[in-house]
Amino acid sequence: MPQKTKKSNTSTQTPKPVKALKATLRIRVSNSEAHYGGNLVSGSKIMEYFGDVATELLIRLDGDEGLFRAYDNVEFLAPVFGGDYLEIEGEITEIGNTSRKMVFTAKKVIEPEPSIAPSAARILKDPIVVVKASGTCVTPKHLQRKLS
């Protein structure tokens, strides 16, 4: 009877672990970004940061910056002031033909304490979610390079 040969475990069919499609940006909002009374920063500024996170996600997935097609939800939950430090996170939740659905969160992690001194600031033990959003970006088919 012919002996069966054992298949090696290093078969090319072993599924690759799926990488989490996440990106994070940490920035200090400068005082020069304040647009409204009381040093308040415009909500559109935070959406610009979401755009930067979205761009990184698309570069990681497709090797291309892609384009933002639509937001389906944006919620401004707490004010952002000049001098705040923000942590902006994004994640791809669904991959279509050319569309990539994403969710975003911006959290305040440090805030100034001008009542103590112009240079005083504190670390927030519990970061404050300031903006949440979800939307869809598009990478045209001919620009997708299937990097991951």
Please state the closest distance from residue 27 (CB atom) to ligand COA, in A.
Answer: 18
Q: Is 12 in the site for ligand COA (CB under 6 A)?
A: no
Q: Is 143 in the site for ligand COA (CB under 6 A)?
A: no
Q: Is the CB of 39 or the CB of 55 nearer to ligand COA? A: 55
Distances from the Cα of 31 to the Cα of 40, 46, 109, angstroms: 9, 14, 16
What are the backbone angles phi and psi of residue 144, rounded to the nearest 5°?
-80, 125
For ligand COA, the binding residues in 78-97 under the rule CB under 6 A are 96-97
CA–CA dist 138, 84 (Å, integer):
31
Q: Binding pattern to ligand COA, positions 33-72, x when CB under 6 A?
A: ------------------x---------------xxxx--
Q: Is 74 in the site for ligand COA (CB under 6 A)?
A: no
Q: Which of 27, 121, 136, 143 binds ligand COA (CB under 6 A)?
A: 136
Report CA torsion sign: 27, 32, 35, 38. positive
Which positions ≥6 away from 67 have C-beta within 8 Å?
Answer: 137, 138, 139
Number of Cα atoms under 13 Å in the Cβ half of residue 89: 12
- Site for ligand COA, rule CB under 6 A: 51, 67-70, 96-99, 136, 138
